Structure 1
Amino acid sequence: MPYLSRIRINPLRAGSRKLLASPRAMHAAVEGGLPGLPEQERTLWRLDPDNPHRPQLFVLTTNKPDWTHLVEQAGWPGADGEHYAVRDYAPLLQQLAPGRSFAFRLTANPVQNTNRPDKPTERQQERMDAGVRRSFRVGHRTAAAQLNWFLTRTRRWGFDIPAAPNMDGTHGADGESPREIRITTRLRRSFGKGAITAKEAHVVMNAVTFEGHLRITDPALLTERLLSGIGPSKAYGCGLLTLAPLTERV
């Protein structure tokens, strides 16, 4: 049974500063709240810094977690209020139906596969010089490419993005009406994986947060994406798609 958790983070604590600065450290802290073995859990997480003074960590887990250690390390352990909330995810999944609309948020790492990167890393250049024919996974760097990555994949994820209300009837440069989606943050992250070999120990990713409205086309496909995540870098805070019910328009 899946559970969605929300944990309050105190950015002034020494422990929280470490977690906020390192996706690798945050991943380890998330794993520490799970009762089962890490390989037996399917976990997604996302940090939402809407309020920099009160960032919130969202985590989707297979089994019911305990976030006491995170509150003690990076929260307000002695303060009033709800330090973290754990909710059964099944009721939301039961609401999914064709044609239903939801508000959504997703932080993802938009990537593409290519045989010849425009700006290869040292490791990629060595592989090309050695004649390695396997394609490379590289991140999309522009907002337009990142948005296109999202919009061209929604059908396989079980939803589409409706056209935005447009009072004057104008269209975009491509002749299509604007969609109900926007990019709210774009953050390039670079950090070590903790591996021994330096060339394999570095992660570079573009964490892009998309927000907007979606309309369900295939509940089964959408359920799969909600539970297993979207795109790569899931261990580092990408892939968790969350939904909020909308009042249907009349």
Structure 2
Amino acid sequence: MTYLSRIRINPLRAHSRTLLANPRAMHAAVTGGITSTPDDERILWRLDADNPHRPHLYVLTQSKPDWTHLIESAGWPGADGEHAAVRDYTPLLSQIAAGREFAFRLTASPVQNTHTPTKPTPTQASHLADGTPGKRPRGLRMGHRTAAAQLHWFLTRTEKWGFTIPASRTDQPAPGLDTTTAQPTPDEPRLRDPNPAREVRITERRRHSFTKTGKGPRVTFHTATFEGRLRVTDPAAFTDRLLGGIGPSKAYGCGLLTLAPLTGQKG
């Protein structure tokens, strides 16, 4: 069985500030909520801080978690309301079908493999210089840093993830108001845009940099949060990505794709 949890985080508490600033610390807190060891199951999580005063932590687990430790150290243990909502994921998975549309959110770490980094670090330059003579060394995994590159990374991979992003729904201008484009005649239909705008936008972009144990080499990666509308094309591949995550850096809060029903859509 699979469970999706939503935990309220109090950003004013000392422990909360540590968790919010360091994905490694948050990962440790998340794994502390399940009885199995981290290697026994895939855990996905994402921190949503649209409202910095009321951030929420979302976690997907295969076993039923207990978030008491997070509520007591980083939440509002004595306040009213639902501190940690834990829901069975089965009802959502049963709705996955070809052609079904959902609103979605995903924080991912868009990356590329390259042999020609623009400004390689000494370590990267050494890696590219080493290797067996006559054999090309393995490329470096580097994060996309611009919004355009991050969006391209996302849109060119949705098909293998089992969904597509529909073209944006825009209304045609009222007759007589469109003075910049000639209207097509019955014998000359409007040409289809080969690259239409899509129902997706990047709502947040961040650079993360931290050390694993307070010392040693730093872990650095870039993230982008995508929101929009998707249409399922391959239910099996899509379900696999829902449960297994998308892209790298999953231990640090990337890869969790969450869905919501669209307004006016049943189910």
Which segment drifts farther, 148-157 or 201-210? 201-210
What is the CA deviation profile of residues 70-129 of structure 1, one whole-angstrom value per residue up to 9, with x for unaligned ones?
001100011111100000001100000110100000000000111121121221012123
Task: Verify the 8 A CA contact 1:101 1:248 in the aligned structure 2.
Answer: no
* Match in the other structure for 1:149: 153
* Match in the other structure for 1:236: 252
* Match in the other structure for 2:10: 10
Deviation of 1:225 after TM superposition, in Å, equals: 0.1
* Match in the other structure for 1:136: 140
Alignment partners' CA distance in 1, 2:214 and 2:128? 23
Deviation of 1:247 after TM superposition, in Å, equals: 3.6
Q: Write the letter of the residue equivalent to 1:152.
A: T
Runs of 4+ in 1 over 6 A off after TM superposition: none
* Match in the other structure for 1:221: 237
Deviation of 1:176 after TM superposition, in Å, equals: 2.1
Q: Tell me, what secondary structure is at the counterpart of 1:164?
A: coil
Alignment partners' CA distance in 1, 2:79 and 2:67? 15
What is the CA deviation profile of residues 215-248 of structure 1, one whole-angstrom value per residue up to 9, with x for unaligned ones?
0001100000000000000000000000001145
What is the CA deviation profile of residues 150-205 of structure 1, one whole-angstrom value per residue up to 9, with x for unaligned ones?
000000000000001122479xxx85221000000000111112387x3xx32111
Q: Residues 186-225 of structure 1 correspond to what in structure 2 (within 5 A)?
A: 186-194=205-213, 198=216, 201-225=217-241
Alignment partners' CA distance in 1, 2:244 and 2:43? 8
Task: Verify the 8 A CA contact 1:147 1:183 in the aligned structure 2.
Answer: yes
Alignment partners' CA distance in 2, 1:150 and 1:178? 14
Query: Against the structure 1 CA distance between its residues 87 and 101, is the aligned structure 2 distance closer, same or farther, given a 3 Å change threshold?
Result: same
* Match in the other structure for 2:93: 93
* Match in the other structure for 2:64: 64
Q: Residues 155-170 of structure 1 correspond to what in structure 2 (within 5 A)?
A: 155-168=159-172
Alignment partners' CA distance in 2, 1:182 and 1:207? 14
Q: Write the letter of the residue equivalent to 1:224.
A: D
Q: Tell me, what secondary structure is at the counterpart of 1:157?
A: coil
Q: Tell me, what secondary structure is at the counterpart of 1:36?
A: coil
Q: Tell me, what secondary structure is at the counterpart of 2:104?
A: strand
Q: Quick one: which of 200, 205, 209 aligns to 1:181?
A: 200
Deviation of 1:131 after TM superposition, in Å, equals: 4.2
Q: Write the letter of the residue equivalent to 2:170.
A: N
> Could you state the TM-score of these two structures normalised by the residue count of structure 1?
0.93
Once the two structures are aligned, what percentage of the paired residues are identical? 67
Q: Write the letter of the residue equivalent to 1:142.
A: T
Gap runs ≥5 in structure 1: none
Q: Tell me, what secondary structure is at the counterpart of 1:73?
A: helix
Q: Write the letter of the residue equivalent to 1:18.
A: T
Alignment partners' CA distance in 2, 1:183 and 1:160? 16
Q: Residues 74-85 of structure 1 correspond to what in structure 2 (within 5 A)?
A: 74-85=74-85
* Match in the other structure for 2:23: 23
Alignment partners' CA distance in 1, 2:131 and 2:199? 44
Root mean square deviation, CA, Å:
1.8
Alignment partners' CA distance in 2, 1:45 and 1:109? 13
Q: Tell me, what secondary structure is at the counterpart of 1:178?
A: coil
Q: Tell me, what secondary structure is at the counterpart of 1:59?
A: strand
* Match in the other structure for 1:123: 123
Query: Against the structure 1 CA distance between its residues 51 and 28, is the aligned structure 2 distance closer, same or farther, given a 3 Å change threshold?
Result: same
Alignment partners' CA distance in 2, 1:119 and 1:138? 11
